[in-house]
Amino acid sequence: GESVGLHLPTLSVQEGDNSIINCAYSNSASDYFIWYKQESGKGPQFIIDIRSNMDKRQGQRVTVLLNKTVKHLSLQIAATQPGDSAVYFCAENSPPGGNTGKLIFGQGTTLQVKP
Amino acid sequence: DADVTQTPRNRITKTGKRIMLECSQTKGHDRMYWYRQDPGLGLRLIYYSFDVKDINKGEISDGYSVSRQAQAKFSLSLESAIPNQTALYFCATSKAGSWKETQYFGPGTRLLVL
């Protein structure tokens, strides 16, 4: 069945270092993926997305990499800042290509930034 | 995101009570969703609506009902609240007609059922 999972529940990094948050998905037909950031007391906030016909997409200080061969998605945050401390979720569309609007979310990885 | 608002932000109720959580959006999106978030379980879909006349069950709809009063309003009801419905509830919206079904979330309602 479909599942979206993050590899680590908590990631601790030093301020200024780069962060890499990983996500595995099980449905090889998935064609759209999103990363969300959720700060304490707030709703998930869209960070960046990627379609399956791409391997890499860059935003401001963030990069999403998609490896379809191993069904792996990662979010890279450059020069991590204290404001990046949050829970990060990956999500995939379900069912793929159906434009149903439904998303399946992973369980989330908590990013802790040490000063 | 102020474009999606939820009321109330916090609610304490007792077992057996009926309560309603409300969601409004000014994004002009036609699709709206209700999720529940529990620690360690991520977000789970309760109900979703693609337009005013279209309501669909999500993966955990038992014990919940919804009403789409208008394109901009989508409410979630707990007919008879029970303690295991204590959770954080989020409303989300998205725009149909695009391969990018990005969903935009409200600030959430924290519900405690005693």
* B5-50 pLDDT per residue, tens: 999 999 999 999 999 999 999 999 999 999 999 987 789 999 999 9
Question: In chain A, which residues have their Cβ closer than 8 Å to the Cβ of B40?
Answer: 9, 107
- How far, in Å, CA of A103 to CA of B110, rounded? 22
Compute the 3-state secondary structure of chain A and give helix, strand, coil in percent, each to the nearest 5: 5, 55, 45
- How far, in Å, CA of A66 to CA of A55, rounded? 5
User: Which string of b and e fits A53-90 if b means at least 16 CB within 10 Å?
Assistant: eeeeeeeeebbbbbeeeebebbbbbeebeeebbbbbbb
pLDDT tops 80 at residue A64: yes
Residue of A49, A51, A89 lying closest to B42 (CB–CB): A89
Q: Within 10 A of B95 (CB to CB), how many other CB atoms are there?
A: 16
pLDDT at site B95: 85
- How far, in Å, CA of B77 to CA of B66, rounded? 6
pLDDT at site A30: 86
Q: Which of A2, A3, A39, A42 to mutate to test binding with chain B, by most B CBs within 10 Å of its CB?
A: A42
Which residues are registered as beta bridge partners of B94?
A: B31
- How far, in Å, CA of B101 to CA of B94, rounded? 6
Tell me which residues of chain B, numbers 50 to 89, contact chain A at a CB-CB cutoff of 8 Å.
Answer: 50, 58
Give how far B72 is from chain A: nearest CA, Å: 17
User: What integer is the mean pLDDT of B63-90?
Assistant: 96
User: Residue A1 — pLDDT band, cuts 50, 70, 90?
Assistant: very low
pLDDT at site B9: 96
Give how far B100 is from chain A: nearest CA, Å: 7
Mean pLDDT (chain B) is 92
Tell me which residues of chain B, numbers 6 to 25, contact chain A at a CB-CB cutoff of 8 Å.
Answer: none
Residue of B42, B50, B90 lying closest to A101 (CB–CB): B50
CB B77 within 8 A of CB A31: no
